[in-house]
Amino acid sequence: MEFAVERLDNGIKKITLRGKMDIDGTNQIDLRLSSETSMERANVVVDLSEVDFMASVGIGVLVRSYKALKLRGGKMVFLNPQKVVEMVLERTLVNTLIPVCYDLKTACEQVLQ
């Protein structure tokens, strides 16, 4: 699982994930994602466009990071998940907790509200 962080001009942190969010993939990013989302008040866009599989363990890591952000007054949105990942987010109702956006401009607007 690949993990990249980028600071956008508006102060938003964009985290891009690539690969499978199965047990192995999630273990590779769990600590880094936690540190990027729990150390400061931040607004975060998590780009899921290159995640092609998501298991329950992946959902757990994302929700835990979301809760850590929320405690510090930050916000999180998901950006452009593939259909298979989008279906997992819908079936687990995670999309009712963490908004899903389909373009970066809308995602940035959503976390800045």
Could you give the 3-state DSSP secondary structure of residue 91?
Answer: helix
Provide the residue range defining the domain that includes 94. Answer: 2-112
Distance CA 62, CA 33 (A): 8
Domain CATH code at residue 62: 3.30.750.24
Chain segment 37-92, per-residue pLDDT in tens: 887 788 999 999 999 999 999 999 999 999 999 999 999 999 999 999 999 999 99
Task: Compute how many other C-beta atoms are within 10 angstroms of the C-beta atom of residue 52.
Answer: 15
- 103 - beta bridge partners? none
Our count of domains for the chain comes to 1
Residue type, 51: V
The whole-number pLDDT of residue 39 equals 77
Percent of the chain at pLDDT > 90 equals 88
User: Tokens 């509200």 belong to which residue?
Assistant: 113
Asked if residue 9 has pLDDT above 90, the reply is: no
Closest to 33 measured CA to CA, from 52, 51, 112: 51
